[in-house]
Amino acid sequence: MSAQATSRQLILDRVRSASGSARGNGDAYAGLPRNYIRKGSLGAEARLGLMIERLREYDAEVVECAPRELPAAIAAQLTRSGRHSFVAPAGLPAEWRAAGFDWKIDSGLATGEIEAAEGVVTAAFCGVADSGTIVLHHTAQEGRRIATLLPDFHLCILFASQVVETLPEYFSRCEQAPPLVTWISGPSATADIEMTRIKGVHGPRFLAVILVRDQI
């Protein structure tokens, strides 16, 4: 046996002999107490209001629009950002790529090309109002992880129907376990020096959100 196989067996043996017999654990797991809040109590408007409030507390810029106004709202936000070159995930709807800006479509862009871009526009999987969290599953619309990491400005399109109140509600929306997830709660930050909160260390320093009022 290789050293690795020996260590594996040794550790598992130690663990098993220490914690008792290796019995089925399904029933025990099902019996764990889960009396915390698993479903929010806010109405639709209050839920969206909370999401917007939390995002603004993180200094994210938030605007709202109707579904048909979305392309115009995107163009307005990009203009306001003062930036010109943007990364678009491969699956981003074509009508979201506002005219008059440089778009690099990420079907395997090199790191350097993404680093050179000034911003990125993506969709999202979910928004959690309680903590103002945006959840990305990095699908073709939401972009590879690198696309929402290197550019300094992230414009995220979030639909009202994607906003839940509590974190457990997000998990119950995951029908299959997503292999990649990034939970974003405000722009990157540090408080390592005298607990002074500084925005923008390595990730995007500017986060803007368009909340699209689709059906809720």
Partner 1 sequence: MSHAASHAVLDPVFAQPFPQAALPVLRNPQLRKNVAHAIDVIQAKRAKLVAEKTDWKELRDAASEIRAHALENLGEYLEQFETNCTAAGGTVHWARDAAEARRIIADILRQENAKEVIKIKTMTSTEIQLNPALEALGVSVYETDLAEIILQLGGDEPSHIVVPALHVNRSQVREIFARRMGIKDLSDDPHALTAAARNYLRQKFLTIPTAIGGANFLIAETGAVAVVESEGNGRMCLTLPRTMITLAGIEKVLPRLADLEVMLQVLARSATGERMNPYTSLWTGVTAGDGPQSFHVVLLDNGRSPMLRHKVERQTLKCIRCAACINACPVYRQTGGHAYGSVYPGPIGAILTPQLMHLEHAQSLPYASSLCGACYEVCPVKINIPEVLIELRAQVTDRERKEAERFFDPLYLGLRAANLIFSRAWLFTMAQWWGRLGLRFFTRKDGWIHSLPGVGGRWTMTRDLRGLPDQTFRQWWAARAKEAR
Residues 15-44 that bind partner 1 (CB under 8 A): 15-16, 18-20, 22-23, 25, 28-29, 32-38
The CB-of-158 to partner 1 minimum distance in angstroms stands at 16
Establish if 10 lies at the interface with partner 1 (CB under 8 A): yes
At a CB cut-off of 8 Å and minimum separation 6, what does 201 contact?
Answer: 188, 189, 190
Query: Following CA atoms 98, 101, 102, 103 in sequence, which dihedral angle do they give, to the nearest 10 degrees?
Result: -20
Among 74, 138, 160, 211, binds partner 1 (CB under 8 A): 138
Identify whether the C-beta of residue 157 lies closer than 8 Å to the C-beta of residue 123: yes
H-run or E-run covering 119: strand 119-123
Among 56, 80, 84, 145, binds partner 1 (CB under 8 A): 145
Among 45, 46, 49, 183, binds partner 1 (CB under 8 A): 183
| Residue with Cβ nearer partner 1 (37 or 72) | 37
Query: What does residue 122 show for φ and ψ, rounded to 5 degrees?
Result: -140, 165
The CB-of-13 to partner 1 minimum distance in angstroms stands at 8
| Residue with Cβ nearer partner 1 (99 or 193) | 193
Among 86, 125, 170, 206, binds partner 1 (CB under 8 A): 170
CA distances, 102 to each of 85, 98, 117, 205, 214 (Å) = 5, 9, 9, 20, 28
3-state secondary structure (DSSP) of residue 171: helix
Q: Specify the stretch interacting with partner 1 by CB under 8 A; choose among 4-12, 65-73, 79-87, 156-164.
A: 4-12
Residues 99-118 that bind partner 1 (CB under 8 A): 108, 111-112, 115
Nearest one of 20, 58, 28 to 189, comparing CA atoms: 58
